[in-house]
Structure 1
Amino acid sequence: MFSVNPLRHVWVVDDDPLMHEVWFAAIGEDQEFELKLFHSGAEVINALEETSGPQLLVIDMNLSDTSGDQLLQELRNLPNFHRTAVIICSANLSSYNDEAGTTLPPIGWMKKPLNLISIKNQIRTFWREIG
């Protein structure tokens, strides 16, 4: 008898439609993952009101409606999201302020520009870290 691994729920918040295409091409059709793409922090907050949320969230630092730091802080204050694994994605990782007051820091960082192979490899590596 074999067991089937449950889907790994990954949400990505990025306001760049091209990045949505890249994420979908990288893991959107992978049967291990259920990928949901969001254009804004507000969309993610609204989605969390209707569901328990993802197991892994990737946040772009430069969203049009909020900064990644602000979104992470707001999400960390929600009871269902307190322990969700987060990856920060940015072209300039040195600007990430890990003293932003978040309850739990992100588990990792991804540097833009991203490519299909690096996304797959990094997501699988991060997944091993969160179990």
Structure 2
Amino acid sequence: MTASVKLERVLYIEDEPDIRLVAEIALHQVGGLNVITCSSGEEGLSLINDFMPQLIILDVMMPGMDGPQILCKLRDMPEFKATPVVFITAKVQADEVEQFKRLGAADVISKPFNPMTLADDVRAIWAACDE
């Protein structure tokens, strides 16, 4: 499904402006990915059909619509039903990670993330989705 296709387009939904900026630099300038960052689930869902991301990164805790709620909405959209979703959060206890995976997340990246390896981490998750 994924690894045979090169990962190029990533949507990152994060409410914290500083983290959004660092992630955009990490994914685009360091990692060479085409990335759109959004400050809310509503914004991300409004842009998603025009951008058609191959992978979506969601902050877990956000005001309004949180990451798990966004994931549920994505799974109701036929064109994004199988799109890999990665949660990014400081909540990375084993039971929490398992809960996120039960919800349908491909994986979980812990905050704070390493900007120099974030794109590689995302590519590794992308590749694992095909196994």
Interval of TM-score (by shorter of Structure 1 and Structure 2) = 0.7 to 0.9
Moved more, 66-75 or 116-125: 116-125
Aligned 1:6-85 pairs, distance under 5 A: 8-30=8-30, 32-48=32-48, 50-51=49-50, 53-85=52-84
Partner of 1:117: 116
Q: Which protein has the larger Cα radius of gyration, Structure 1 or Structure 2?
A: 1
Q: Equivalent pairs: percent with the same residue?
A: 23
1:128 aligns with: 127
What is the alpha-carbon distance in structure 1 between the residues aligned to residue 30 and residue 81 of structure 2? 27
Q: Deviation string for 1:83-116 (max 9, x for gaps)?
A: 101101111134453487x5xx111100111121
The question of whether the paired residues in 1 share the 8 Å contact of 2:11 and 2:53 is answered with yes
SS at match of 1:29: helix
Q: RMSD in angstroms over aligned alpha carbons? A: 2.3
Partner of 1:66: helix, strand, or coil? coil
- Give the TM-score normalised by structure 2: 0.81
Q: Which runs of 5+ in 1 are unaligned?
A: none
Runs of at least 4 residues off by over 6 Å: none
Aligned 8 A contact 1:26 1:120 in 2:
yes
Structure in which a larger fraction of residues adopt helix: 2
Q: Which has the higher contact order (CA 8 A, sep 6+)?
A: 2
Question: Where does structure 2 lack aligned partners over 5 or more consecutive residues?
Answer: none
Q: Distance in 2 between matches of 1:99 and 1:85?
A: 11
Distance (Å, rounded) in 2 between the aligned partners of 1:91 and 1:46: 26
SS in 1 for 2:116: helix
